[in-house]
Amino acid sequence: MNNVALIGPSILIKGTVTAREALTIAGQVDGSIDLAGFPLVVTADAHITADIIAQTIVVGGNIKGTLCAEGHITVQKTATIEGELSAPSITVEDGAHVHGRFDISGRTRADLKLAS
């Protein structure tokens, strides 16, 4: 099954988002996002203030928080990130704005405590 859930541009979520499927966020999320084992895409129009766990993370929008990927993080040129990025592999495109810390040695899910 190749379903991808979508949080659309007009949606604001305050709290914890937990999913066991791929997710694309085009709206706003304030809280935490747990997609352990599944990919997350953050579109250019998204605004997120959250700690995030996912298999892979592609960021095109604005994020404040900690990003922890089990696989790879891609920061696109349209992205603005303030926080910590942790993954075995991280790519940052020219033009992206990142203010924070990189941990490219990787972490396990248990090492990252989600915000409550």
**74-98 in b/e burial notation, b at 16+ Cβ within 10 A?**
bbbebbbbebbbbbeebebeeebeb
Q: Environment class of residue 20 by beta-carbon count within 10 Å: exposed (0-12), middle (13-18) or buried (19+)?
A: exposed
- The predicted pLDDT at position 114 comes to 54
Q: Tell whether the model's pLDDT for residue 102 goes beyond 80.
A: yes
Which tens digit of pLDDT belongs to each residue from 13-38? 999 999 999 999 999 999 999 999 99
| 101 class by beta-carbon count within 10 Å (0-12 exposed, 13-18 middle, 19+ buried) | exposed
DSSP β-ladder status, 89-92 and 80-86: unpaired
